[in-house]
A and B are shown apart, each in its own frame.
Chain A
């Protein structure tokens, strides 16, 4: 069974809220879907909200890191929001650094940050 992650468009921004545990196929599908949507909508920014995610392993981290680099190749900026304390702790202990990634505490802050970035 494969459930796709919904991608919403709000003005020039795409908003994604990942609501359940990601399996490999869903993660890869999301990568493709997001890039296709960027292409179709000419959105300039993306917010990926991870509030509901309670763990991230090295695979999911790699998919996220890759989709951020891919979006940047297409000229869009990505902000990751809502990383839980447990997720931040385990990512660092695991040895994963999401460097050069824009992050914000929550969706609202993420949208603000993105807006500032896009206006700059």
Chain B
């Protein structure tokens, strides 16, 4: 079972809207302040990647329930250029934009589960999940 809400990412202001949505959902689900900060930061990084590299896309926030476990999933989807070398962007310290966004290894560390699906010329779909402990 899940229900979701989303924010279209087109401008810098949408990054703020996406992380506010995520923080509110995380709070409602009962995440503590540290996890709220992790989730908010992860959304901010993913939304900024969309803004910087794809131009526009969407951040979806899903509430998850699985065998009594509650969680939050961030889906960052765009139809941008895709990522040519996923292994490389998952290396620490790799960034093509001089330290703005792009921190995918960081996002992975902030969340419990991280999945990236990308095709060059078609777009990128990143799913990051945090479970309530």
- On whether the two chains bind one another, the answer is yes
**Which residues of chain A have C-beta atoms less than 8 A from B48's C-beta?**
57-59
Give the distance in Å from the alpha carbon of A24 to the alpha carbon of B17 in the complex.
12
| Interface range on chain B (Cβ under 8 Å from partner) | 20 to 34
Chain B binding surface SS class: helix
Q: Would A94 and B33 count as touching, CB distance under 8 A?
A: no
B109 partner, pick from A23, A59, A62, A94, beta carbons under 8 A: A94
Grouping DSSP codes into helix (H, G, I), strand (E, B) and loop, the A interface class, with mixed when no group exceeds half, is helix
**A-side interface size class:** 20 to 34
Contact B103 A58, beta carbon cutoff 8 Å: yes
What residues on B are CB-neighbors of A84 within 8 Å? 33, 37
CB distance from A103 to the nearest CB of B (A): 18
Within the complex, what minimum Cβ distance (angstroms) separates B124 from chain A?
18
Q: Say yes or no: A58 contacts B45, CB within 8 Å.
A: yes
Tell whether A94 pairs with B110 under 8 Å between CB atoms, given A55-B41, A55-B44: yes
B residues near A87, Cβ cutoff 8 Å: 37
- Also in contact, A57 and B45, with CB within 8 A (given A86-B33, A94-B106, A94-B110): yes
